[in-house]
Structure 1
Amino acid sequence: MSLATLRKNVCTNIDIGTALKEIAANPHIGDELAFDLLDGRHIECAVTDINDNAIRFDSVDCLGDDMTYGKVEKWLDRIDHLLPDELQRAIIDTERKHVINGKKMDRLERLFLPAASELFSGDNVLGDKGLYKQIDWYKDRRHRMRMDEHNGDSTAYWTSSQRSGSSTYFCNVNGNGSATNDSASYTWLSAPVCFRIRKS
């Protein structure tokens, strides 16, 4: 059994299964679930969006793994296998929309990156304007900022969005929470972890 810290009105150390049931039964934007991956690294995830069927969690900080854009998918798969069993069982597949080389496509993903249009308003979206709408949680620039576990500094991180009109540049977020883009071959960017669980 894995333990988790649930931050709602008060901070409670309980097992992950109980924490997930409590969140699923009565979710609030900003609730945080903190737990350890199987490799011992600590991760904190905040509830960023709730709809009729599911609750979305986004990691509050990056795990400090720098990577090229092409390695993000394998990295997410590796992180999925490091999640505690109770959380692995609770995560549901999420249909995610992408625009790759001008073509719109959908695919099911367990863990995913946020899209630029979920993080920014339409004026700041570099690649997938209109694909998603900005999540209210991310209207606060501080919520778009991520820390790097290596040294505690704010870090730049990948989104899932390809730069409009480019096949090699992808949108990312600067350490100060603003939108930018970088070559997919750059290795100094990290990635956040997003997932959804079913609402009870």
Structure 2
Amino acid sequence: MSFATLRKTVCTDIDIGTALKEITSNPHIGDALAFDLLDGRHIECVVTDINDNAIRFDSADCLGDGMTYNKVEKWLDRIDHLLPEEVRQAIVDTERKHIIDGKKISRLERLFLPAAPELFSGDDVLGDEGLYMQLEWYKDRRHRMKIDEPGGSSVAYWTSSQRSGNSSAFCYVTSSGYASAHYASYTWLSAPVCFRIRKS
């Protein structure tokens, strides 16, 4: 199995442990960690945020799995078990904030979806005002666009944000990178994978 760390235009095939050490010791927004899941699917995760303690990675694209919103949590758990062991061991629990049926809650999550306010600003956060600030990475609409498989087309995908005032609808990103919302029972939406690893 081959692994790669990408920095701007440089691509080096190295083992996953070395790639993680390189990125955690000197991270940059836009760095990418590319690897194969245990089921053989390839995934590339991009550094989208860095703070004093950890580095956030978001999958550059979706994995081609369509699902209803209520299946997302089980899907993330399944993906967690398909990660290479080096990546699984490096992931730290992340406190994630949600507004569910008008109540603000927090919970620890290993893998998670981005929230609408991390992707958008202004009215496009669709009810999650004040939870998060838009990440610099996602101010570029092209970074919000994701494909469903290598060589595939741009796909709509779920966020973790419930649509304000509607307990059965959740926010999603359109295939063109814009904000929208739909009923949680819709199955044609995919999901990205986000996680954080501790800085070295």
Partner of 1:4: 3
- C-alpha distance in 1 between matches for 2:176 and 2:36: 27
Where does residue 179 of structure 2 map in the other structure? Answer: 179
Equivalent residue number for residue 74 of structure 1? 74
Deviations 1:75-121 (A, max 9, x none): 00000000000000000000000000000000000000000000001
Match of 1:147 in 2: 147
> How far has the Cα of 1:30 moved from its partner?
0.2
2:176 matches 1:190? no
d(CA) in 2 for partners of 1:100, 1:84:
32
Q: State the alpha-carbon separation in 1 of the partners of residues 58 and 150 from structure 2.
A: 19
Partner of 2:167: 167
Distance in 2, Cα, partners of 1:98 & 1:151: 33
Deviation, 1:123, is 2.5
> Whole-Å Cα distance in 1 between the matches of residues 150 and 189 of structure 2?
13
Cα separation, 2, equivalents of 1:65 and 1:17:
27
Task: Report the TM-score when normalising by structure 1.
Answer: 0.97
CA distance in 2, matches of 1:141, 1:73: 26
Q: Please give the alpha-carbon distance, in whole angstroms, between the structure 2 residues aligned to 1:199 and 1:49.
A: 12
- Structure 1: gaps of 5 or more residues: none
One-letter identity of the residue aligned with 1:112 = F
Specify whether residues 29 and 63 from structure 1 end up closer, same or farther in structure 2 by C-alpha distance, changes over 3 A only: same
- Seq. identity, %: 75
Corresponding residue for residue 30 of structure 1? 30
Could you tell me how far 1:122 is from its partner in structure 2?
2.2
Distance 1:151 1:134 in 2: 28
Q: Does the 8 Å contact 1:156/1:190 carry over to 2?
A: yes
**CA-to-aligned-CA distance 1:124-161 (integer Å, 9 cap, x gap):** 11121111000000000000000011761100000000
Alignment of 1:102-181 (within 5 A): 102-149=102-149, 152-181=152-181
RMSD of equivalent CA atoms: 1.0
Pair 1:57-2:57 in alignment: yes
Residue identity in the other structure for 2:71: K
Q: Find the aligned partners of 1:151 and 1:175 in 2 and give their Cα distance.
A: 15
**Aligned residue pair count:** 199
